[in-house]
Every structure is written in C-alpha cells, then in structure tokens.
Chain A
C-alpha cells in the first residue's frame, strides 16, 4: 500500500512491522517524532512492546543492551549530541555483539548548538564497530530498518540506520508500506544464540585479562584481543550478508537495488559524484543539468559506510577520470572521512593499474547551511576539469 508520510513515521512503521519488543529512547530533535510515534503505537495497543522512558540516551542504549542480552528485539533512536552522550554504550553494544537497531536522524553536533542537518554525528561514530546504513528517501528508510534487523541478527552486530534530519525526517513523501505478512515472511522471530536466563546465571562481558584463559569448563576462552578480532572479521563478512539480505528482500518484496551503491547515469560518465544520504538525490539534479551541457557525469550514493564496501566502490569507479566526494561531515584536521576511505579503497584495488581517478572533496551543508543546487552544479562542473584543491572546499561558506 502506498502512503504519504514523513521519514520519521516511515522509520516507526518499519520498527512496528519488525515487531520490536523493547523500545527505549530519549527525545531529541529531529528524532523526537519517531519515538513519539512508537510510544503512540504501544499506548494504543497497535504494537506489543515495552516502551521504556529513560532519563538520557546513555540509559536508552543501556536498556536496549540489557533487553537484547535477554533475547528481546530492541530499538532506539537518537540524533547529534544524544548519540555522542551514548558513545560509551555504543562501543559496548558492538563489543557485546548485540543485534540492536538504532535510527540516527542526522544532525549537527555542538558546540555551538545547532539543531539542523549534517552528518557529523554518525560519521564521528564510524570506528565503534557498528554497521552504518545511509538512506536517501523514505522508501529506503523503512526498507533499511527491516533489512537491518535481518542483517544484525544474522551477524550479531548492531546497526545504525542513518537518515538526514528534516530533509528526510520531517518531509512527506510517498512510499510503499509493506503488509505484516510480507515482513514476517522476510524477518523470522529473533532467536539469539544465547540469551540470559535466570535459571543459568552468568556474567556477561566480564573483565578480560590481556591473555586467553581456561573457562570454568576447562575450555580455552577468548580474551579481549580475540573478541575484538572476531568483531572486525565478521564486520568484513557482513558485506556478503548484506548482499544476501538484498537478494532475499528482492524475492519477497519485489523491490531490488544494489546493496552497496545506488548509481545514477554513471555508466558512460567520466566524472562521478559520491556521497551519503539525501544529498546524492539532490546531486541527480546537478547531473541532469551538466548532462544537458554535454558533460558526462553521474552520481553514486553509498548505502553502507561500515563495513566499507571497498571492492564494490573500486569496481564501480574503475575507469572514471575523476571522483567528486560531497560530504556533510569532516574528519577535523584532515578531510572528509569518506574521501579518506575512498582513497584507501582505490589505492588498494587500483594502484599500479594506471586507472586511479583524481579525487576532489567538497564539504557541504554543515549545520544545515542551505545547499543550493546551483552551487552544487557549479562546483561539480569545476571539478570535472580536474582537481580544484588539495584541501576540501566548503560549499556555501560565507567567510
């Protein structure tokens, strides 16, 4: 059924259809309407779940960690400083290998205070061991939530489903709302490998010594290093699981897309723009404008940022003359994090082949600064001529 709703409602409907049984969240703009919607569903009895109000984001994720450890399918959501306040528990959730799904409604982080959209919040959580999915429209939000539970529960790794504050969270867009039967066919009930039970008391995530140890049964148990290695190893193989999820989703829902890269007019393009989230859809307008001028350009939207689909990206960009990376975040002191990751992937897969494209990094929309399509097009046009600057250029800066 097609409905017209805002992005936060799309996320909430996805969570409801996935039958999450414990929800704990603390309201923060622009995430608030999402959790309000979920509390409505629970209050009205439309959703059989425990909605646990908490006093902070740190507690919200702590509740999810506990409930997930006991075998519940859990959900939380946050934005910006809420995510930063949660950071300690964010690391904990991945180390504890809990398949938590969390929506991050992207917003600028303080200081200074700013409630508008950029992606500094989730990008700054890049190295926490979570899977990160970025959405470009409402259909992708609801679909990503559904796929996220399937993937997270397959690999026992938590997932952030990230979408742009206001641009997606508060705007209305038509999307297909799947029925419960279809979602149930895709997503079986959560059956964890291990769940804490009162009959079998245990300490979870207890202190590890630097070296391995014999456990109480006399078996050689992992220490910290082995546990962290397994997280890294299984994050890398999550790329295959994500591809399986996409295939399974297509079979059941009849909607298919590339699991990692959403390409627009890239086949014969010499220069390709790359980005995360809704900005890549805005860039399609620039692509169309530049194509009219006879400039062969295209745009790629990256759906997974962690694990980083390096091989898929390098494959997709092979033979392109230049890549222009548009980012709504920066790794302060260097350049956009996506730009660095892209360079690393291209070096790994294309170095020595003589096909390394030139790379230009643009930073846009920081703190919600209006991104004018004319400016995007202008900067994009300039970058097709070759690299403009080694340092990232900030579009729309009025300094």
Chain B
C-alpha cells in the first residue's frame, strides 16, 4: 500500500501525536526509569512529574509510573537531566537493539 490516494499533495500536519513522523527513530539514547528512585513510584502518589513537565515532545505520561512513548521520544535526555532523584538514566540504544530483534 502506497500513498497514491492520500488526500493531500503536500506535507501537512495537524495537532495530534506523532504527526511529524516516527521521531523515535532519531534516538541514540533511551531514557530508562529506576522505579526505586522515582518519587511518584516510591510514594505511590501523584507527585513530582518533573519529567512529564519538562519533556519537550510531550511523550512522558503523568502516570505512576511515568511512561515514555518510545515511538516519538527523540532521546534528548532533558528528563534525565531534570529528574531531582536521578531516577532516569540515558542508555545507549545499541544495548537494546539485540533485545528488540528477539
């Protein structure tokens, strides 16, 4: 299936998740959450959510635990930088590539 019958002849995006494409493929490092350090996880309360607040791509959920939408996370690392308890670590994507293949 190609794009022959797509309704437009140009590049056009409306507000909504991922209308700029699967930007997750740009990522070289993936944010990994250590729930034993994460404030809302530890307290089981809606708290902190600094990662959700700072994420420029709006791909982190305001949930317990916070979840990252890896389809669109570009791996900028701002969440890891801002996390007050250092609960988020940026891990080389190469480490996951074997895992993803399985």
Contact = CB atoms under 8 A, between A and B. Distances in A.
Contact of B10 (A201, A216, A227): A227
Interface string B1-39: 111001111111111111111110100000000000000
Contacts of A209: 21-23, 25
A124 to B, nearest CB: 25
B10 to A, nearest CB: 5
A95 B10 contact: yes
Interface string B54-96: 0000000000000000000000000000000000000000000
Contacts of B25: 209
A227 B6 CA distance: 11
Given A201-B15, A220-B1, A213 B10 contact: no
Interface string A39-68: 000000000000000000000000000000
A208 interface: yes
B9 A227 contact: yes
A230 interface: yes
A216 B17 contact: yes
A220 B3 contact: yes
Interface residues of A, number: 32
Nearest to B22: A213
Contacts of A97: 9-10
B11 A227 contact: yes
A208 B21 contact: yes
A1 interface: no
A221 B6 contact: yes
B10 A215 contact: no
B11 A222 contact: yes
B18 A214 contact: yes
Interface of B: 1-3, 6-23, 25
Given A95-B10, A219-B7, 12 more contacts: A194-B12, A200-B14, A202-B15, A205-B10, A207-B11, A213-B20, A222-B11, A223-B3, A226-B2, A227-B9, A227-B11, A231-B9
Considering the complex of A and B, which 6 residue pairs feature the smallest CB-CB distances, nearest first? A216-B16, A213-B21, A209-B21, A216-B19, A222-B3, A203-B13
